[in-house]
Amino acid sequence: MDARTLQEFRAVVGERGLITSAEELHTYECDGLTNFRVMPEAVLLPESAEQVQAIVRVCHRERIPFVARGSGTGLSGGALPVEHGIVISTARMNRILEVDLTNQRVVVEPGVINLDVTGKVSPHGFFYAPDPSSQSVCSIGGNVAENSGGAHCLKYGFTTTHVLGIEVVLPDGAMVHLGGRTLDTPGYDLPGVFVGSEGTLGVTTKVILRIVKRPECIQTLLAAFATTGEAGAAVSGIIAAGMVPAAIEMMDNLSIQAAEAAVHAHYPDCGGLLLVELDGPSAEVASLMERVNEICLSCGATEIRVAQSEAERAVFWKGRKAAFAAVGRISPNYIVQDGVIPRTALPRILEEIERLSAAAGIKVANVFHAGDGNLHPLVLYDRSVPGQEHAAEELAMRILELCVEAGGSITGEHGVGEEKKQMIGKMFSEPDLETMQLVRCAFDPLQLSNPSKVFPRPRLCGEKPGRYEPHPLETAGIAERF
Amino acid sequence: MDQAGASSPGGTAAATAEVSWEQLHALIGANYVRPAGPADAVMGVASQTVAEPADEMQLAAALRWANEADIAVAPRGGGTKLGWGNAPRVLRLILSTKRLNRIVEHAWADLTVVAEAGVTFGKLQSALAQHGQRLAVDPLWPENATIGGILSTNDSGALRLRFGGLRDLVIGVTLALPDGTLAKSGGKVVKNVAGYDLPKLVTGALGTLGVITRAAFRLHPLPPAEGRTLTFRAGSVSDANRLIVELQGSPLAHTGLQARARHDVQPEVDVRFDGTPAGIEAQCTTARKLAAFAVETGESAQVWNARQELWTLADTAAVAKFSVLPSRIAAACETVRRAAEKGGMKWKIVAQGTGLGWVRLEAAQPADIREALVSVRAEFERGAGSLFIANRPAGSGAIEAWGSPGDAYPVMLRVKQQFDPRGTLNPGRFVGGI
């Protein structure tokens, strides 16, 4: 990058806001997916939307690709820098700007940490519903990019359900406001397509979030089964009984062992563990919890515990939320995968995974958002064993293929990013992907914003579409357009 | 054809070029192509031809043919909301989804359904009910409205408060694009972030980006028992608003909450509870405590028809959808009242706890309605809200159906140009002339 451009960036963000030294840049060469690494030319840490806009304008003029980055916890390489590009970190844009309890809205900057939103409003009995396992460190801007989910999205929906409006700096440097404070703002649902676009349509600079009133009562049940098959049958029973629990989570034996080793959640040692959380009016929750209890027993549960206190409930969840990191206790290296299947395909897919795992000689631990079919296989391997990393990657991709074959998806909440852009073609045809990229062409025809992610090949956006101007003869009413 | 000299942001297709309709016959069969009649006009703009393709392949082929021949197309489902939006600049072909009427897959154990666009909401709900499930929206005219039309107009009712809008329930769509591409996005699983979320983009796009040929939805179980609705009369619109805000700020899990206000009676607030009998009972008790400052007037589920009843149309009535902050519902009612009184009009409002609402204005002189709508819209927009005119009486003059789309309008225009560069689909019907 030439000195003049760097000087221009420095003028925008100041000396403290510009990182160019190799050792500091190392921090930014990957996100939560550590097996992909690219050194950026520079990292910029703007403190305001105006600074973001100034940076993007320079990038646009100089055709410098940029990647926006929140906390860097993403698991698909979405915040992986691109060659000859810069990283725009939103870490310093971390103010909660406005809290409107009456209308249940909060306005935040993109660097605000997910859990801090709930922290801010919980004294008033509210919470911010999307709860990815990384919620204590991940940022709202990153959540917007990935359309993050979490255990409770079964009932409450994903990030996209809770984002009403977004201030965005477009890749050409224009600042626009998508959606707003009220529902159904006139025009296309641009927040709908921006959320989950993985940073490819522009940089988020402010977000209007919806918060939710905490339910009167929350109860969490933990049930142990001999097998994941039995646990799966209990999930089917709960759904068939017409319930929509706040969360249903499943862990297999390997992931239970890992969680135990890491956080001592005192989970029973069993083949399949279920966590079922119900919330709502107390009277309702009490009667439904009885039904859940019956269903679990009839499906062969060997042990059932209902959390008797908020502290016990937190312990139940601690094991689950720590599961990814906990696997580090039982394996030197691992891949966290994220596939979705129609929930009813679970027994068959788990069997297949077991077969593939045995054939490859690589262990797979399974953590599962069982209510909505979102499977997180943790593929365990040892990088120091020659060939094992490659075999693990192949196995992880084969599992995703299984998900697609079952009518599911290659990602439920982690995004396509860098990691799965070659897989997306298994799920969508070329015309499907070309059609999606029409949106890309409308937002970012020069492909500067997080280029080379999500899609295996960029679409050529063609000539820049211009505003239709009627011919003078038409205007005069002499001719009509054919 | 259209207003001379008006710039046409979405491009434009020709109105009167000679066309060989036989080519269309060859694509979908002569029996399913017929001359359009007066009933096929869209907001007073006559069409030439109506075509009813048998499936999505035929629909895409017909659309491609029309696009290449510069024939402006209006997609049509049940035709219940053809009066919504702006009048088309030009119209020659109505592409009906009537025969795309299969429920493709109800995976009841997975709580999802895939259906073709022409399936009526009533048919869909009956099929889902066989397994104790529903698509948790309550659209207008459910017996005739099709899922393609409901999605394209983003028509949601009182259930939105608890279950989200269509954008939150649609999980996949297949679209026919003007160039004949059939493209799918999303999928048939509830959780899925692979690729761009086009199902949301086309929800509420009024068929201006592509024709929805099928859609997948997440479903909810039917409530276990008959729910209960409580109605309270409030002394004023601000009391009604206060009750709405208090119920919304409570831990109650109501599935409907609306205020009904009109020119001649005191406003009422309706709240509905579903769930187990014990849960419903306990919630009714809590709600009554919160509503101690209002008078309980009855218990009838009929009140949830209030939105649809706004459409018992006299020639002189307009119906508009508004969106305001929930705390500003009373202010919205006051704004409507002032504007209506000024013009000597009757008015009615049904406003939901989400801040979405519907207003009906009835005047002796249609021309007066225009002025009232313009002033109400301006006031709403000052408070971050909006007003969309769904139906307007003949003679009320030209008025843009939507208000300001804000500073993202250039992006919307570019999206339209990417999807429909020749301006074939519903030209001029959407926001800002798109």
Confidence of residue A285 (pLDDT cuts 50, 70, 90): very high
Whether residue B84 is found in the same domain as residue B50? yes
B387 CA to chain A: closest CA distance, Å?
8
- Is the Cα dihedral A41, A45, A49, A51 positive or negative? negative
A21 CA to chain B: closest CA distance, Å?
35
In whole numbers, what is the pLDDT of chain A averaged over residues?
93
B192: nearest CB among A215, A283, A340:
A340
Q: Do A432 and B184 touch (CB under 8 A)?
A: yes
Within 8 A of A193 by CB-CB distance, chain B residues are 196-198, 200-201
CATH number at residue B255: 3.40.462.40
Q: What is the pLDDT of residue B314?
A: 66
CATH number at residue B72: 3.30.43.10
Extract the runs of DSSP E, i.e. beta strands, from A281-422: 303-306, 333-336, 339-340, 364-369, 374-381
Whether residue B256 is found in the same domain as residue B383? yes
- With a CB cutoff of 8 Å and minimum separation 6, the contacts of A114 are A128, A130, A131, A132, A134, A135, A136, A138, A139, A140, A143, A148
- Domain boundary, last residue among B221, B253, B271: B221
**Are B204 and B152 spatial neighbours (Cβ–Cβ below 8 Å)?**
yes
- Write out pLDDT tens, residues A213-236: 999 999 999 999 999 999 999 999
Whether residue B183 is found in the same domain as residue B117? yes
A342: nearest CB among B110, B200, B431:
B110
Task: Indicate whether A480 pLDDT > 60.
Answer: no
Q: Do A187 and B324 touch (CB under 8 A)?
A: no
- H-helix or E-strand containing B321? strand B317-323
Chain A residue at shortest CA distance from B222? A242
Distance of alpha carbon A368 from alpha carbon B99, whole angstroms: 40
Q: Do B252 and A243 touch (CB under 8 A)?
A: no
Q: What is the pLDDT of residue B389?
A: 94
Q: How many domains does chain B have?
A: 3
- With a CB cutoff of 8 Å and minimum separation 6, the contacts of B298 are B231
The residues spanned by each domain of chain A are 3-89, 96-213, 217-405
Residue B38 located in a structural domain: yes
Whether residue B194 is found in the same domain as residue B240? no
Distance of alpha carbon B250 from alpha carbon A274, whole angstroms: 30
Whether residue B217 is found in the same domain as residue B299? no
Q: Which of A253-267, A272-286, A340-354, B10-24 has the lowest mean pLDDT?
A: B10-24
Within 8 A of A370 by CB-CB distance, chain B residues are none
Quick one: what percent of chain A has pLDDT higher than 70?
96
Domain range for residue B383?
226-403
Within 8 A of A103 by CB-CB distance, chain B residues are 325-327, 355
Task: Indicate whether B9 pLDDT > 60.
Answer: no
Q: How many CB atoms lie within 10 A of CB B198?
A: 28
Given CATH 1.20.1250.20, say whether it is the number of domain A96-213: no
Confidence of residue A462 (pLDDT cuts 50, 70, 90): low
Within 8 A of A146 by CB-CB distance, chain B residues are 193
Q: Which of residues 358-397 of B touch A (CB under 8 A)?
A: 384-386, 388
CATH number at residue B152: 3.30.465.10
Q: Do A481 and B203 touch (CB under 8 A)?
A: no
Rg of chain A's alpha carbons, rounded to an integer?
Answer: 24
B422 CA to chain A: closest CA distance, Å?
10
Preferred mutation among B8, B18, B196, B213 to probe A, highest tally of A CBs within 10 A: B196
Residue B358 located in a structural domain: yes
- Write out pLDDT tens, residues B294-352: 999 999 999 999 999 999 866 679 999 999 999 999 999 999 999 999 999 999 999 99
B109: nearest CB among A240, A408, A469:
A240
Residue A234 identity (one-letter amino acid)? A
Task: State the first-to-last Cα distance of chain B, in angstroms, to the nearest integer.
Answer: 16
Average pLDDT of the segment spanning A196-208: 98
Whether residue B139 is found in the same domain as residue B236? no
Distance of alpha carbon A137 from alpha carbon A122, whole angstroms: 18
Q: Which three-class secondary structure state does DSSP give residue A434?
A: helix
Whether residue B285 is found in the same domain as residue B425? no
Whether residue B238 is found in the same domain as residue B278? yes
Q: Do A244 and B419 touch (CB under 8 A)?
A: no
B428 CA to chain A: closest CA distance, Å?
13
Q: What is the pLDDT of residue B367?
A: 82
Whether residue B107 is found in the same domain as residue B213? yes
Distance of alpha carbon B324 from alpha carbon A467, whole angstroms: 32
Whether residue B319 is found in the same domain as residue B384? yes
Distance of alpha carbon B239 from alpha carbon B268, whole angstroms: 10
Q: Which of A22-31, A139-148, A453-462, B179-188 has the lowest mean pLDDT?
A: A453-462
**Dihedral in degrees, nearest 10, Cα atoms B86, B87, B89, B95:** 100
Whether residue B314 is found in the same domain as residue B168? no
Confidence of residue A407 (pLDDT cuts 50, 70, 90): very high
Q: Do B279 and A284 touch (CB under 8 A)?
A: yes
Average pLDDT of the segment spanning A426-451: 97
Within 8 A of B415 by CB-CB distance, chain A residues are 188, 190, 438-439, 442
Residue B17 located in a structural domain: no
- Write out pLDDT tens, residues B351-410: 999 999 999 999 888 888 999 999 999 999 999 999 999 988 877 778 899 999 999 999
- Write out pLDDT tens, residues B216-256: 999 999 998 889 999 999 999 999 999 999 999 999 999 99
Whether residue B295 is found in the same domain as residue B193? no
Nearest Cα residue to A69 out of A77, A60, A59, A61: A77
In whole numbers, what is the pLDDT of chain B averaged over residues?
93
Structurally, what CATH architecture does the domain formed by A217-405 represent?
3-Layer(aba) Sandwich (3.40)
Chain A residue at shortest CA distance from B241? A102
Residue B7 located in a structural domain: no
Q: Helices A388-405 and A346-360 meet at what angle, rounded to 10?
A: 160
A15 CA to chain B: closest CA distance, Å?
33
Task: Indicate whether B2 pLDDT > 50.
Answer: no
| ipTM value for the complex | 0.95
Q: Which of residues 25-44 of B touch A (CB under 8 A)?
A: none
Structurally, what CATH architecture does the domain formed by A3-89 represent?
2-Layer Sandwich (3.30)
Residue B110 located in a structural domain: yes
Distance of alpha carbon A78 from alpha carbon A86, whole angstroms: 14
